Amino acid sequence: MNIKRIGCIVCLAIGSQWAYAADSGDEIIAKMGAFELKRGEVKKLAEAQGIALKGNKQAALALEQLARAELLRRAVLAEAKKAQWEKKPEVQQQIERAKDQVLVASYMNHTARPPANYPAEQELKQAYEANKAMFIAPAQYRVAQIYLANDKDAAKAERQAEELTRRAREKGADFAELARKHSAHPESAANGGDMGWLAEDQLLPELRPALRNLLAGEIAKPVKSANGWHVLKLAERKESALRPFAEVKDSLTHLMRLRLAEQNEREYMNKLVAQSPVSVNEIALANMIE
């Protein structure tokens, strides 16, 4: 059963009377019938989901959804226990399998985990120097556009794109006003066509060559994409450049630790197999599928 899906379609009646738990003084954050969710429990759920709380003004909605899903999970679990669902033989097998999987995963995570001091600063710098190609940021463009959809008359859209390009290139022309009046892309039109900073790999492939050849402030010839025409103005450009070590240090640390953990896990498994080689009765195995 998908608890997240249930959480989207079931309306929970959260009680209006809030209190503090008598035994611990922990504030009750959410209720569903007899089920309560306390502040500390919500915090642990957030930590398990990787939701940062400190200084995160956008976390409130995520926490509410998390609390609702957890209360629903507990309610469904109570119903399942009431029905003694765990006593079904097939469910017992699944429970045991799940327990074993958790045990294996936890043990391997502990066994393969790199030392806390890995990688050292010098190792990080060596990896950075040896793999600089990984850390080259693509060129970025701050672009404004007027988008004209093909709709039913592609020729008309092309003529309109050429006309708007001509008008936009006139001395004293207000590109932003033209975009607000004529662009069929509501989000950018509301900002005078401004699409903000976009990395080259975020742009439609058809737009990239046109922007590469523009200087700041210039307007390209109309560009045709799969769905329409684009009148493009380049506001600013940031050339492709190597990201500094300080900027990539954390992600590089994570990557190196992950790779060492994977290597440690492979070596551990190989050691087990070397100590006790696996043998398979291929004839018996083949007989199973006849």
Contact between 181 and 243 under an 8 Å Cβ cutoff? The reply is no
With a cut of 50, say whether residue 10 has pLDDT above it. Answer: no
pTM above 0.85, yes or no: no
Average pLDDT, the chain: 89
**pLDDT value, residue 147:** 96
**pLDDT value, residue 8:** 37
**pLDDT value, residue 2:** 43
Q: Please tell me the distance from the alpha carbon of residue 105 to that of residue 111, in angstroms, as a whole number.
A: 10
Q: What is the mean pLDDT of residues 94-115?
A: 96
* Residue 290 pLDDT class (50, 70, 90 cuts): low
> Could you report the per-residue pLDDT of 175-185, keeping only the tens digit for each?
999 999 999 99
> Could you report the per-residue pLDDT of 242-266, keeping only the tens digit for each?
999 999 999 999 999 999 999 999 9
Q: Please tell me the distance from the alpha carbon of residue 213 to that of residue 206, in angstroms, as a whole number.
A: 13
Identify the structural domains of the chain with CATH numbers, from first to last. 3-83 (no CATH), 139-239 (3.10.50.40)
